[in-house]
Amino acid sequence: MTAAADARCIPRALVTGSNDGIGAAVAHALVGEGYEVVRHARNRVRADDYLSDAPEGTQIAVGDFASLAETHDVARQAAALGPFDVVVHNAGTGAPPARELTADGIERTLQVNAVAPYLLTALMPPPERIVYVGSDSIRNTLLDLDDIQSGADWDQGAAYGRSKIALTALGLYVARHWPSRLVNVVHPGWVRSKMSGEAAPLSLEEGADTIVWLALARDPEALVSGELFFERAPARFNDQPHDPGIQEAVVAAFEQLTGVVLPKDPRPQPQR
């Protein structure tokens, strides 16, 4: 049992973007395994809609990841509801047809899909395990480190893929720099959801499977760090995010965009 669980006797997880879709399936599976799960919704309306049918005592953090201020607030809410044994960074968005900047002056897709997980990772007490939900869309594009916000060359599909390259690079960077934690990235597959549509072949539960496995399994294959997984096996869709130099550059860009520096390895190493 982890230090976090020792204090409560029940392990606890945070799953972002978990009022519906894959995030909801992950949260449901973790609850079924005995976890207390703190959920996350983008706004109060979504949170209240979820809570109207949720069991009494369900806890939910609220905040829009297209806002740095609201992401800071989600980190504060989550820290008050923790500590956590597992954090699953699932919240994400598709890219719009035309490039959009948030009120923070950051390209919206990049901010929601990659900058917000960076901020949460940097601001929250580190859990034992971290899972970032990526995508195989990274196989179709490359990240321009001199134009990380896609200002010069906007393409809707490429922008989404670039944001997931940045997220994958972040996850692998955290794994390298936090060796006391288990940190991995997961491509869930083409899952039937609001983002992917009903033509997708996989159910939400099938998409959640590898995420949940990495979050709680004691299998030797799951007790690794610094991998991109698909269907419970390491995968490699694009060499870029696996390059330590790319990882360093992405994190340096996020530090500059947010003004927040990722802490050093949060030792001591917890019991796994």
What digits encode the pLDDT tens for the residues 163-184? 999 999 999 999 999 999 999 9
SS (H, E, C) the chain: CCHHHHHHCCCEEEECCCCCHHHHHHHHHHHHCCCEEEEEECCHHHHHHHHCCCCCCCCEEECCCCCHHHHHHHHHHHHHHCCCCEEEECCCCCCCCCCCECCCCCEHHHHHHHHHHHHHHHHCCCCCEEEEECCHHHHHCCCCHHHCCCCCCCCHHHHHHHHHHHHHHHHHHHHHHCCCCEEEEECCCCECECCCECCCCECHHHHHHHHHHHHHCCCCCCCCCCCEEECCEECCCCCHHHCHHHHHHHHHHHHHHHCCCCCCCCCCCCCC
Burial of 76 (0-12, 13-18, 19+ CB in 10 A): middle
Q: What is the pLDDT of residue 196?
A: 59
CB 229 within 8 A of CB 236: no
pLDDT band with cut points at 50, 70 and 90 for residue 203: confident
118 a catalytic residue = no
Q: Which of 35, 118, 132, 164 is catalytic?
A: 164
What digits encode the pLDDT tens for the residues 29-38? 999 999 999 9
pTM for the full model? Answer: 0.93
Mean pLDDT, all residues of the chain: 92
Q: Which of 118, 132, 160, 173 is catalytic?
A: 160
Q: What is the pLDDT of residue 201?
A: 67
What digits encode the pLDDT tens for the residues 71-111? 999 999 999 999 999 999 999 999 999 999 999 999 999 99
Whether residue 134 has pLDDT greater than 60: yes
Percent of the chain clearing pLDDT 90 (strictly above): 81
Nearest Cα to Cα of residue 172 among 256, 215, 234, 220: 234
What ranges do the domains of the chain cover? Answer: 3-258
pLDDT band with cut points at 50, 70 and 90 for residue 192: low
| CATH architecture classification, 3-258 | 3-Layer(aba) Sandwich (3.40)
132 a catalytic residue = no
What digits encode the pLDDT tens for the residues 207-248? 999 999 999 999 999 999 999 999 999 999 999 999 999 999
Q: What is the mean pLDDT of residues 193-211?
A: 79
